[in-house]
Amino acid sequence: MEGNYWVLGIVMFLFVLSIKKYTNLDSLREWIEEYNPDALLADGFDEAIIGICERIGMEPVVAYDREKCLEILTSEFAEDFAEDLEEDEDYSLHDYIYTMAVEHFEFNVAGAYVGETTPVFITRFEEEQ
């Protein structure tokens, strides 16, 4: 049936319980431990945490904003090319750095499954204007 997203006998709900901004890493980790003390974190992406994801029959996991993760990686990679970026007029180096960030993220971060408590990466819906 068109528009029917229920699958016979199996329903999985995916939602972010809370979107909070934490400036203190300790309080962020305490908040995560309230949901799942075994939840894994993606190193270096604390600023991209948007909440907790719960799935039926599975433990809650940390949810990250995918675009924010890419911003963090792009910024880190750009530091390696700082001098070259200042001289780049056609922005091809900017594109190259972003492409490197996407490839690194897809393979090493989002693609790194390490068990049921592996974080999830959410792509937020944004309407085109």
pLDDT 10s digits, 85-102: 666 555 677 888 999 999
Q: What is the mean pLDDT of residues 35-64?
A: 95
Give the closest residue to 20 by CA, choosing from 65, 67, 58.
65
Q: Roughly what angle, to the nearest 10 degrees, separates helices 92-104 and 66-80?
A: 120
Of the candidates 10, 26, 21, which has an alpha carbon nearest to the alpha carbon of residue 58?
10
Q: Which sequence spans correspond to the domains of the chain?
A: 15-122
Residue 60 reports pLDDT greater than 70: yes
Task: Give pLDDT, residue 79.
Answer: 85
The residues near 60 (Cβ < 8 Å, ≥ 6 apart) are 17, 35, 36, 39, 52, 53, 54
Higher pLDDT, 117 or 6: 117
Say which residue, 41 or 96, is predicted with more confidence. 41
Mean of pLDDT values over 46-52:
95
CB 10 within 8 Å of CB 45: no
Other C-beta atoms closer than 10 Å to the C-beta of 59 total 14
> Of 16-25, 28-37, 120-129, which range is least confident?
16-25
| pTM for this predicted structure | 0.75
pLDDT for residue 85: 62
